Structure 1
Amino acid sequence: MDLRHFRYFVAVAEALSFARAARNLNMSQPPLSKRIADLETELGVRLFDRTSKKVNLTTAGEAFLPKARDAVRAFDAALRTARLLSPSHSRRLRIALPAETSRNVLSDIVSRLQQERVQVHLVEASTADQQDLLTAGEIDIGVIRLPVEKQGLWASASLGQPLGVVMAAEHPLATVAKLRLCDLDPYTLVIFQRRFAPGLYDEVLDLCRAGGYVPHRILHATRMTKALLRTESAVAIVAERLAKRSGEAGSKEFIWKPLEGSPLHWWSSVICRANECVGLTRVAVDVILASLQQHEGWVPMPRSVRAQSEDIRPIEQRVDSVNAH
């Protein structure tokens, strides 16, 4: 028995699905099932009741879960403490960024931090993955799409970016001068998969419904978005910069239109673990904030009271003015 057995048990207990837990752990299901079986054999108790349709914790499993969580957290905390004291760690930062981050932001972050003699390791990860990586101590800083719910994280003030609509040039709405959300109602929506940023996904759909757009059909895509916009008479809700970068708004085949009143936004924050946003980590946070504003058009915006309550807790409502050096 080792700590991996505890980590695997917690993953299955939280997902209540061996298949889902295996995906979250980036492993296949058979070795995960064997690890859990080995743990049960070692402990002499069944931790899960399994059927072909569902997985439930036994009484022993429910009693074991909080202790297993504590053990995993204590181990991860011990590793982080030791790494923070390492001389090499003091000049090395692991930074996670969303897949749509521009090349200019990537090169700018690396260049500015190299001037501070910081070794930068960049990781591509979704909001959901970044939360897990931070919790596990596998990254130091992330850039996430709000809102998210996660304890133990510190977040910068939010940056916002208005969203508009991309459609094929021959779409019936392509000639509409002022586009409203309710105008989209008859049309299929193409959007990213919810698992990448659950909070943002739900917020976008909630605001669409509030504005009179209740998609009768939703398709999930990233690389296939262009094809679906052509074949489905669909629409996609994206920031203008992403539409232009992918060639959708700048070509004769597709058109990007703003929404009247700017009812939809993307919200982002730079995050790190609570109580660890000091020293070089804080310098890097400020560098990232400055780079996002300079190269991608993100701007500081106050979120609504409702949205702020759904962001990260605990959260600092202000950050110092950005200073890259």
Structure 2
Amino acid sequence: MSMNLRLLRYFTETVDAGSATKAATQLHVTQPVLSRQLRQLEQDLGLALFERQGHRLRLTQAGEQFLPLARNLLRQADEVRRAASSIASGHLDQLHLAVPTTTLNDVLAPFLATLHPHDPVPIVRQLDPRGADAALHSGADLAIVPRPPARHLASRPLAVLPIWAQVRPDDQRAPGGTIGLADLVERPLLLLTEDFRPRQLLDEAVHAAGLSYRETIDCTNARVAQALAAAGRGVAVVSDDPRFDLVPLALPGLRLHLYAAWDPRHHAATTLAELADRLAGFCVERYGPGVIPQPTETVVTTTSAH
């Protein structure tokens, strides 16, 4: 069964107008033409959509059930047209971002607040734990990732952020500024779960130093870890900005690298590259020049769009 979108639009316009006469006027057709088109739709569908009482049309039960389906199909058709227009022009109306939760609150959300009215509308989703490729294949335009993206992707290093051991202001280490791994593992620790990159980096460093944790509590959210630290339950080890009056202690050598990645064949690859540059610049404005990635710290390359 073929589906004529024009006939569907005649159907929904007639329902919204309340009468065939009003609908015909709004659609710039004569009423006999509109009536023939509605009957053609009913014939194509094999459904009686209206009960006809003279010039009045009333939806049948089948018509009421079909109406939301018709509206949804027309809405999807409009979205397809807009997407095709955007692709043809190289313009991006919506920006689908895949972001790890460890950078959403402190890096990405503040950056989104700086976007201009003419920028694409951002739609944020959780980063696929499998990385940039999986995120882009699932529909993201731009992925923010804590590992170097594959070389076949276009990419840009964004920032190198510290991982902190955050303690209460009354902690004896609070004025110290730094804490070594040997001292850290002897404290009760509030750690992110093992699927978070800051936790992975900490585990790797502890293992490499031949150390082990004395007491840990796993948290699935950095803010929860910080809240528990503020409540005196331990030291929160996170990459997030300090909250709840916590004091950050630097962990020498532990840093979180962030990269932006996108498909070089994307129709708006130039726009994505510009947004990645702006995000990198925002990180420097927010945290200072110390977060700028050094050339020796990354082997990521940017591929030009085809």
TM-score, normalising length from structure 2? 0.56
Q: Is contact 1:95-1:120 (8 Å) kept?
A: no
Query: Are the counterparts in 2 of residues 127 and 143 from structure 1 also a CA contact under 8 Å?
Result: no
2:144 equivalent to 1:119 = no
Q: Aligned letter for 2:86? A: S
- The equivalent of 1:242 in structure 2 is 241
CA contact (8 A) 2:97 2:123 kept: yes
Partner of 1:106: 112
Q: Are 2:220 and 1:218 equivalent residues in the alignment?
A: no
Shift of 1:208: 3.3
- For the pair 1:286 / 2:277, whether they are aligned, the reply is yes
Distance in 2 between the 1:174 and 1:299 partners? 23
SS in 2 for 1:121: strand
Q: 1:316 aligns with which of 285, 288, 301?
A: 301
Shift of 1:296: 4.2
- TM-aligned CA deviation for residue 264 of structure 1: 0.8
**8 Å contact kept, 1:105–1:295:** no
Equivalent of 1:299 in 281, 291, 294: 291
Residue of structure 2 in register with 1:161 after alignment: 161
Partner residue in 1 for 2:72: none
Separation in structure 1 between the aligned mates of residue 119 and residue 111 of structure 2, nearest angstrom:
17
CA distance in 2, matches of 1:143, 1:205: 22
Q: CA deviation at 1:163?
A: 2.4
Q: Assess if the C-alpha contact under 8 Å between 1:127 and 1:145 holds in 2.
A: no
Alignment of structure 1 residues 180-195 onto 2, 5 Å:
180-195=180-195
The match for 1:269 among 259, 262, 265 is 259
Is residue 141–residue 262 contact of structure 2 (8 Å, CA) maintained in 1?
yes
> Following the alignment from structure 1 to structure 2, what is the Cα–Cα distance between the partners of residues 304 and 209?
24
Q: How far apart, CA to CA, are the structure 2 residues paired with 1:83 and 1:205?
A: 49
Task: Decide whether aligned partners of structure 1 residues 174 and 161 sit closer, same or farther in structure 2, where only a CA change above 3 A counts.
Answer: same
Query: Displacement, 1:134?
Result: 1.0
Shift of 1:267: 0.8
Highest CA radius of gyration, 1 or 2?
2
Task: State the alpha-carbon separation in 2 of the partners of residues 127 and 95 from structure 1.
Answer: 11
Q: 123, 131, 135: which one pairs with 1:133?
A: 135
**Aligned mates of 2:168, 2:207 — CA distance in 1:** 23
Equivalent residues of 1:165, 1:238 under 8 A apart: yes
Aligned mates of 2:159, 2:205 — CA distance in 1: 18
Partner of 1:41: none
1:258 aligns with 2:250: yes
Residue matched to 1:6: none
Deviation sequence 1:188-244 (CA, Å, 0-9, x none): 3222223344xx5322211234356522333222232244325665212234x611x
The aligned residue for residue 205 of structure 1 is 203
Contact 1:188 1:232 in 2 (8 A): no
**Alpha carbons of 1:269 and 1:180: their partners in 2 closer, same or farther (altered >3 Å)?**
same
Contact 2:143 2:260 in 1 (8 A): yes
CA distance change for structure 1 residues 170 and 233 in 2, over 3 Å: closer, same or farther?
farther
| Cα separation, 1, equivalents of 2:214 and 2:140 | 39
Q: Distance in 2 between matches of 1:100 and 1:195?
A: 18
Q: Helix, strand or coil for the counterpart of 2:110?
A: helix
2-structure distance, mates of 1:147, 1:217: 32
Amino acid at match of 1:294: E
How many residues align? The count is: 212
Structure 2: runs of 5 or more not aligned: 1-79
Q: Deviations over 1:256-304 (max 9, x none)?
A: 2223xx3111110111124447322222222222222222447222386
Q: C-alpha displacement at 1:147, in angstroms?
A: 5.3
CA 1:83–1:166 in 2, change beyond 3 Å: closer, same or farther?
A: farther
Counterpart residue type for residue 293 of structure 2: M
Counterpart for residue 19 of structure 2: none
Q: So what's the TM-score if we normalise by structure 1? A: 0.54
Q: Identify unmatched segments of 5+ residues in structure 1.
A: 1-81, 310-314, 320-325
RMSD: 3.6
